[in-house]
A = this chain, B = another copy of it.
Amino acid sequence: MSNPYGHFEDPNREYVITRPDTPLPWLNFLGQDEYFALNTNTGGGYSFYKDARLRRLTRYRYNEMPYDNNGRYLFIKDGDTVWNPGWKPVKTELDSYECRHGLGYSRITSSKNGLEASVLIFVPPEENLEIWQTTLTNNSDAPKTFKLFSFVEFCLYDAQNDSTNFQRTYSIGEVEIEKNAIFHKTEYRERRDHYTMFASTRDIDGYDTSRDDFVGVHNGIHEPKAVLAGQPNNTQAFGWNPIGSHYHEITLQPGESTKHSYILAYVTVSGEKYIAPHVINKEPANAILDKYSDESAVDEAFAKLNGLWDDQLSTFQVETPCPIMNRMGNAWNQAQCMATFNLSRSASLFESGIGRGMGYRDSNQDLLGFVHMVPDKARQRILDISATQMSSGLCFHQYQPLTKKGNDEIGGGFMDDHLWLILSTTAYIRETGDVGILDEKVGYADVEEKTATLLDHLELSIRYTLENRGPHNLPLIGHADWNDCLNLNCFSTEPNESFQTASHNTAEEVAESLMIAGLFLKACLDLQGLYKFIGADAKAEETAAAHAEMLEAVETQGWDGDWYLRAFDTYKEPIGSHKNEEGKIYIESQGWLVMGGAGADNGRAEKTLDAVHEHLYTEDGCVLQQPPYQTYHLHLGEVSSYPPGYKENAGIFCHNNPWIHLALMQLGNGDRAYEYYLSVCPAAKEDKIETYRGEPYMYSQMIAGKDAATPGEAKNAGLTGTAAWTFLTISQGFAGIKPDYEGLQIDPCVPTAWPELKVTRKFRGKTFNITVQNPEGKSKGIKSLTVNGQAVEGDTIPLSSAAEENEVVAVIG
């Protein structure tokens, strides 16, 4: 059974949705600089500048009925028929409908009664605006005169205040209308230096800015009064709810087509705020309008966007025997890495933009899947993140993207946070060779003078974990580790309390984490490599010793017989042990310990991954633990708060699945890694889309596990660490292309049935066209490597001898 809702169109890097009534709204992320737009296949979503909480430009109501019920809408009134190109909100049955989600754009094309409307929505690179280029074509035999209304509902910038503080917000809304542009200037009179412009490039025949007049007090957005009446009211909003709506009367001859654009822009004023009392300075806004006064400028901007994506993706392109892996690895997975890098966990259809900002842990991981695309942005991000570490070694768990200031709003005291910085920094330096970043003075969040360098941060991070160990010589877990929900010190009994911000009720915080131990091991390996590269041999040895010491603790204290433990609780008892009745085996420690080098020479690595296969693997992915907790366990916290099979309570938490993929491939098990990869891959879910529900082109945070009431159902597509890690599964695992300090390592691990794969990789300004051959049907191990016809020793292409363009052949055997 194929997917009745749509299909991939790989040459265009588009997902083509052919029915608007998808199992859930299917989202696209637009924008990659400072202006972002969420856009669904029916035109739903909202826009913001930098920060979805503090600079939200348009309103969206989460979890509405229908789910996705506000957005960028065009209403067409053609005779008595009112319809939207995106179907919603009016939901008039269309004669044809198609939504093409591409990289950084969506194009919705529909027709009704002989009129075709095609709307291309995109954010031009490096601009703080979005464009809806609208093409209308009369495909009927007779002339057509119809009415066209645009619609956005303005958000008063601070989304939290906008949705709670009506006793203020209903009295502050202000707009100006000038020619074809509507200016939303609420709070510009006081402390804002910015406003929103919503303009049409075609001369308008009317407008509305008062929601009560355009939509009506008692009307839904599916039945806006002005549209039903067929005429705008030319209103100016005073307070209540300002909207923007342009009105056009359009006549088209048979076969005639017309094109114009709407521009929604975040405009900052740096000079005089007003040119006359209550009249705002529109100079920067007018510059935008001038630029886009001709549709060819819109076409150019769109071409520039596509060129940008060509360029960004060209760093890594792969051709394997698996079309699913190719389409994900070459386009959609990388696009999702871009989205997670930019938005962390802040704004999607599941992240409300006022819940979570940029995560410390998240952002370091997201960078791993992004650093090859735009290394300069990754560099700045590393510096931003590290500046939210405190001098103790602990980190602010999140920061607000607009202010870059860390805060405790979603909790603190997570004892894994600091270690991720080592992974992101070493990945960046391996990609770029830029060791200069280590000397950047970023300081600590709690120390005014910025004397500490980035390298100081890395060293402090290692030291913090070494100095904060528990009774088994393993790292203390603090509030939690990567698994936010394993709260071994909280003992929370108060339902008003967030598990994330709950205070600790343990006398002595002795609980320890094997997952942090594994992460520490991996961080030591990475740091050791860096030290060697910069010639700090003593430091490298010190780090190797720290690795050995932790490994010793892991192997003597952390082995349960068939797998590694997950943690020790406050009573010093094991978690994730055959001794437990529930939660006997967890996934995280298995992946991380193997990646960190545990079990390498005692058979435990294979054994623990076999245990994962036996106890955790399902056809929808590996569940987080087994068996699920049936009741709440005070000493475990949030992990036991979820119904069995969901989220951390034995759901398939996709983010940790690639850790197993990478561990399997480290051991050379390409066949199993491939099976596992497909199990969580959305593009492989098209034949059970009614169960899966989520977007086929974006990884989900979670798929309901086998113990759930709804197994196989995906949730929270888009903003998940799954993107970065699964991109590593593809690029560094299967394809085996690993940037290293002095060259490009070629270390593929493929399914035995794959005869060949090809990769193009740009690295430090050079291009490598790599063919991996697998004549013997093995999975791993490079038998020979030739570069431009020359044999190379080992599996790494030294940069020193590489040309601008390199033909590489690597043979597995």
Interface: A355 (CB within 8 A): yes
A687-726 Cβ-contact flags toward B at 8 Å (1 or 0): 0000000000000011010001110000110000000000
Interface: A291 (CB within 8 A): no
A709 touches B238 (CB 8 A): yes
A191 touches B495 (CB 8 A): yes
Q: Which of A173-211 contact B (CB under 8 A)?
A: 174, 187, 189-192, 211
Tally of chain A residues near chain B (CB < 8 A): 85
A238 touches B710 (CB 8 A): yes
B158 touches A496 (CB 8 A): yes
A226-239 Cβ-contact flags toward B at 8 Å (1 or 0): 00000000001011
Q: How far is the CA of A5 from the CA of B238 in the complex (A)?
A: 24
Interface: A451 (CB within 8 A): no
**A631 neighbours in B (Cβ, 8 Å):** 189
**A54 neighbours in B (Cβ, 8 Å):** 496
Interface: A531 (CB within 8 A): no
Q: How far is the CA of A189 from the CA of B220 in the complex (A)?
A: 37
Q: How far is the CA of A163 from the CA of B23 in the complex (A)?
A: 22
**Chain A at the B interface: mostly helix, strand, loop or mixed?**
loop
Q: Considering only CB atoms, which chain B residue lies closest to A708 in the complex? A: B238
Select A62's contact among B166, B174, B498, beta carbons within 8 Å.
B166
Q: Which of A336-389 contact B (CB under 8 A)?
A: 345, 349-352, 354-355
A24 touches B217 (CB 8 A): yes
With A189-B631, A191-B495, A710-B238 as known contacts, state yes or no: A171 contacts B647, CB within 8 Å.
yes
- Cβ distance A190 to chain B, nearest Cβ, rounded Å: 4
Q: How far is the CA of A811 from the CA of B153 in the complex (A)?
A: 61
Interface: A493 (CB within 8 A): yes
B171 touches A646 (CB 8 A): yes
**A63 neighbours in B (Cβ, 8 Å):** 163, 166, 241
Looking at A157, A278, A643, A701, which has the most chain B CB atoms within 10 Å of its CB? A643
Interface: A215 (CB within 8 A): yes
Interface: A216 (CB within 8 A): yes
Stretch at the interface among A65-73, A411-419, A607-615: A65-73
- Cβ distance A615 to chain B, nearest Cβ, rounded Å: 22
Q: How far is the CA of A69 from the CA of B641 in the complex (A)?
A: 31
**A221 neighbours in B (Cβ, 8 Å):** 65
A352 touches B163 (CB 8 A): yes
**A65 neighbours in B (Cβ, 8 Å):** 70, 153, 211, 215, 219-221
Interface: A492 (CB within 8 A): yes
Q: How far is the CA of A216 from the CA of B88 in the complex (A)?
A: 14
Q: How far is the CA of A355 from the CA of B162 in the complex (A)?
A: 11
Select A216's contact among B66, B70, B236, B709, beta carbons within 8 Å.
B66
Interface: A107 (CB within 8 A): no
A sample of 16 more A-B contacts (CB under 8 A), given A170-B716, A187-B495, A187-B641, is A61-B61, A62-B163, A62-B166, A63-B241, A65-B219, A66-B218, A158-B495, A167-B355, A167-B716, A170-B350, A172-B643, A191-B497, A192-B495, A238-B708, A239-B646, A239-B715
Q: Can you list 18 A-B pairs with a CB-CB distance of less than 8 A? A: A63-B241, A65-B220, A164-B352, A166-B355, A167-B345, A167-B350, A167-B351, A167-B716, A170-B715, A171-B651, A187-B495, A187-B641, A189-B641, A189-B643, A191-B492, A239-B646, A278-B630, A402-B496
